[in-house]
Structure 1
């Protein structure tokens, strides 16, 4: 995993309410965040800030998102996630053609955006990946290992991703639907009870008989409590 405070994110959107919402959410996750409301200032900010990820709206006054994306890709080693209210396939194709690394349609969930940011960092900035310690857990993405109280857990690939997701989002309730989206994938066609099966397996491996490590929040989901 990586330390979030190592990651710089530039938000570019001409809607102040969206900028404020995303900036607040990403700062709360620990990221360094800068914002811009139009294309020229976005390019200027990128030159000074050197972001790892740019969240870029398509429809803006002056330079649109497609032009900004092309200029950013010439200037920086940067991951660009484009946002648009349009659903036309042509826009998505054009965005990817000019260099965008991912594409999201408004409205979208913050959790989905966060998952895509994590994916882009893993894929494009592997040098930032290292061992992350959170409470009694140590997550080593390079070795695909998680240790709990210095004990290396024997985990399947899915168990590893699920426990990592819960630990990274510790002290926060995450629903089964959110877990399915972020661990199994957006097009997962199975049943939500698969989450219960994997939670049970993790509790056994953590020796969590009393459900004090992975708590069930009835009617809401699961939460890992760490002080």
Structure 2
């Protein structure tokens, strides 16, 4: 799952990015409101963590402008803890509002709640064929058997399942899972897909992760006859 942090205080931004990355999320961080709005409007995020007091454009304006085009969930994380500010944020369309200082455990709990709201049907689980991903417990299962995944493997599988049937170029995978520009000299995407495929597909049928030569990878159910 991909999160955008808009936070101008360097120490706080680094703390959030490091902690959420270690929790298995793919995290981007920008330090001003204009950059935050541009990133949120032009990229695909599952959640926006937004400060109110930002250079260039405040968080209120970022949210107002974003809501004209997107419904990306937004969590305000700010030192402004007045009740009026909380009400304003929620009325503008924020999904939650957490004041600084905060407990990181509480932040991650709120993030999980917000992300569950955005899932259709069973809010905790996504399925493709007999492959199941539990978003709350961050576990994967195939035919009911648990699959042990690293944090990056979980993020990679979640991306493939979320965009089931869509061919994903290596550049998109590198950007959303590793927060990096794709370099043709590196095999990080191919090697990670190979390891994930060994865990998800090797012992099972039908095969779900497919290579599309010259284009990228796709997770989908195919007729193997």
Contact 1:138 1:148 in 2 (8 A): no
Residue 81 of structure 1 aligns to a residue whose secondary structure is strand
Please state how far the C-alpha of 1:62 moved relative to its aligned partner: 2.4
Q: Write the distance in 2 (CA, Å) between the matches of 1:34 and 1:139.
A: 25
How far apart are residue 46 of structure 1 and its match? 1.4
Return 5+ residue gaps in structure 1 as ranges. 1-6, 141-146, 150-227
Higher deviation after alignment, 120-129 or 64-73 = 120-129
Q: Does 1:111 align with 2:112?
A: no
For residues 18 and 101 of structure 2, what CA distance do their matches in structure 1 show? 17
Q: Where does residue 16 of structure 2 map in the other structure?
A: 22
Displacement of 1:93: 0.6
Query: Could you tell me whether the CA contact under 8 Å between 2:4 and 2:48 is conserved in 1?
Result: yes
Distance in 1, matches of 2:109 and 2:68, equals: 26
Quick check: 1:93 aligned with 2:96?
no
| TM, length-normalised to structure 2 | 0.55
Summarize deviations over 1:26-70 as a string: whole Å, max 9, x none.
Answer: 111111111111111011111332211000001112211111111
Describe the superposition over 1:178-217 as per-residue Cα deviations: whole angstroms up to 9, x where unpaired: xxxxxxxxxxxxxxxxxxxxxxxxxxxxxxxxxxxxxxxx
Task: Identify the residue that residue 133 of structure 2 maps to in structure 1.
Answer: 132
Distance in 2 (CA, whole Å) between partners of 1:48 and 1:32 is: 16
Alignment match, 2:60? 66
Which residue of structure 2 lines up, in the alignment, with residue 160 of structure 1? none
Cα distance in 1 for partners of 2:44, 2:66 equals: 10
| Equivalent residue, structure 1, for 2:196 | none
Is residue 123 of structure 1 aligned with residue 124 of structure 2? no
CA RMSD of aligned residues (A): 2.8
Secondary structure of the corresponding residue to residue 75 of structure 1? coil
Change (3 A) 1:110 1:138: closer
TM-score computed with the length of structure 1 as normaliser:
0.54
Rate the CA distance shift 1:125–1:88 in 2: closer, same or farther, 3 A.
same
1:176-215 mapped onto 2 (5 Å cutoff): none
- Greater percentage in helix: 1
Aligned-partner Cα distance in 2 for 1:126–1:14: 34
List runs of 5+ in structure 2 lacking aligned partners.
Answer: 127-131, 147-225
The residue number in structure 1 matching 2:154 is none
- Asked whether the equivalents of residues 52 and 80 of structure 2 are also in contact (C-alpha less than 8 Å), the reply is no
Q: Shift of the alpha carbon at 1:122?
A: 0.6
Residues of 1 paired with 2:101 and 2:72: CA distance?
24
